[in-house]
Structure 1
Amino acid sequence: MEPTDDFYSAYDDPTGAPTSMTTMSCAIENAKHMHTLLASLLLGRKKDQLVRCDIDASGLYFTAHSKGKSLQIKTSMVSDLFETFQYFEAEATSFRICVNHILDGLGVFGTSAMASTAVTCSYSAQEGVFSMVLTDDGVLAECSIKTMVDDEHNDCSLGVFERSFEGAKVLGHMILASNALHDACSEFHELPTGAAVELVLHPTSFASSSDDAMCFRMQAHTPTSSCEMELHKDSTAIVQVQVEATIAASFQWTLLQAGLQVLPVASESFLRLNAQGFCSIQHMLLLGSHRAFVDVLLCPDAA
């Protein structure tokens, strides 16, 4: 069963008011904020990517997994991000939805108009429909998207990635300026699809370590290309770093790239590697007066 296509239509007199079948209703004045967070879930160029959405009284929570279950990306829209947020059920609800359709709906008036587009969202569990009413410069449009009942057979059970990461000691962590990390990684974007990229953290706890000591290396070697990037303790890209022991882990570039795609719009990124090579990256975004987060978990490349 596939979700139906979006439809857009003139909306003569929308009130946005909840009905008796409404499970959730919320409104935000800047569609670009929603678009920025949801775009962080995209995995490749697939046009019908399904993500899981969990809703409770505190907000909306979205989760995406790669096909091989080696990558998890989560983002949330807590109630404070919205001008209004109402949840009408006692228990949390979840469903699967095509994230591409939501993004297309948010951009119905064009990419340049998203910052001035107001959005009222609602979800009806009874009808299985997620709806958006979009307003820009007096023009109204409606987008309705069919949802699917969450199927855990096609999704990771909640918490599996988190437990895998927390099951081993974290040997190193870094807080980096996101835009500087994005610039430093620029040469890796030309890597072939199947390339593996190794992340290496070097100890920083020794008193003898100088400010220019190398503490982070990112490298890839393929039959046709070679890329390497190093960051030293005195690099302007590094806000904070602490590494107990040398730890190295390799990841598929396509998955790591998806986990880093939000760097151009993020403020800071918190990277951790545990003793088993699992990688956690939390990106902090500043959306107006609010902070939002994108959480990435990566399994090391088995190869």
Structure 2
Amino acid sequence: AIHRDEGYKMSKDKIKLNLHAHMVFDWIDHGTGRAMHYNRTHMAQIQTIVANTLDMERGQSSDKKHKTPQQYKAEKEAEEAMKRKQVAEEQARKAEANVVEKKQEQKELEDKNTTLRKEMHTMWMKNLELSGQRSNLAISVYDQKKELEKINLSLFQAQNDLNSTNSTLKDQKRLISQKNDQLKQIEEGITLAKSFDNRISRAFNGADVENSLWGATPLRAAAEECEKIKNEIETRYRRIESIIGKAVDCISDCITDMKRRAFSSSDVLTIDTALGKSRREERADYLLEAAEEKAEVKHGNYAGCAIWERDLRAIARGEQVRTIDRGQGLRY
């Protein structure tokens, strides 16, 4: 049987066992009945015989003095105690070095803390100074802002006055333009009247007076010329009336046809011709009013953007508008 009653404790949780077994030998000489005595050499030979018999590895012979299990255990425990002492001393030395290092780090941190406190105080003083400057700047900015508001108010009033003046000038220019157009029409009328008067005079003076018993031939010639002039005036009036009517029809058709999105090219040409060369915007207002009356639509009572009004005014201003033609869609 293997014995486990010998060994020593290496650490708290580890034990080194001295595993061994015991053998019993009969040392009695049965011939004489006496015990046989063996010396150290005999014992070594017995160990060799046992090893060979049991097929075991023979240990090396030693000159060491035999120790009892108690002595062996005590020596090992002393060795372990020495090792633990050395480890403890090493740990103490490291701890002392660590304490020195920590003290050095603490001193460095204290020095840094002192430096930071000084810098913080300096920054606080600067911040206090900047706060005063900021307050002064805020007061200055507030005063400048108030002054700027006054200037802006003055500019706003001046702009309103200027806009009012411009509006008045615009109205006066429009009135002057209307007066000029009226004067131009009057001059054209005077020129036309003079032309008619010259024609009547030529007809009257060119008549054959000698063959007229009562002198009525010049009057008849003048009357015939007057009839011609009347027909020319009526023809011109009917032509103008026709152009205006066609323009009104174009606008009215665009109003009543909800699918229409623009005038056609021919519509634009007709409207532009009807507007003539002068007082185009006034004439556009008249055409719009007549077209809405024909379409039975009250001005302004329609949803969305009235394209006919928008494009009509654009044509009156001489601007280019979109047109829609059959098979070609919208175009400029």
Where is the strand percentage greater, Structure 1 or Structure 2? Answer: 1
Where is the helix percentage greater, Structure 1 or Structure 2? Answer: 2
Which of these two proteins has the greater Rg computed from alpha carbons?
Answer: 2
TM-score (norm 1): 0.16
TM-score (norm 2): 0.15
Which structure would you say has the larger RCO, counting Cα contacts within 8 Å and 6 or more residues apart?
1
